Amino acid sequence: MFRRKAFLHWYTGEGMDEMEFTEAESNMNDLVSEYQQYQEATADEDAEFDEDQEQEVDEN
C-alpha cells in the first residue's frame, strides 16, 4: 500500500512525514531478512543433526 501511496494522505495530513514510512519499510525489510537468515541456519543445523543420528544407527 505504501508503494502505491494508498491512504498516505491520511497520515501526512495528521502530521506524519513520508520519510517515516520509508524508514519503517526499510526496518521491516531488514527484520524479514534477519529472520530468513536464522531460518536457513536452523534448517542447516537440523540437517547436520539428522546425519549424526543416521551414523549412530549404522554403527549399532
Q: What is the pLDDT of residues 4-56, one digit of tens each?
A: 888 889 999 999 999 999 999 999 999 999 999 998 888 777 777 666 666 66
23 domain-assigned: yes
pTM for the predicted model, two decimal places: 0.60
What is the per-residue pLDDT for 43? 77
What is the per-residue pLDDT for 51? 65
As a whole number of angstroms, the distance between CA 52 and CA 44 comes to 13
- Count of structural domains, the chain: 1
52 domain-assigned: yes
Question: Where in the sequence is the domain holding 35, given as residue range(s)?
Answer: 19-59
What is the per-residue pLDDT for 35? 95
53 domain-assigned: yes
User: For 36, left (φ over 0), alpha (ψ -120 to 50), or beta?
Assistant: alpha
What is the per-residue pLDDT for 58? 59
3 domain-assigned: no
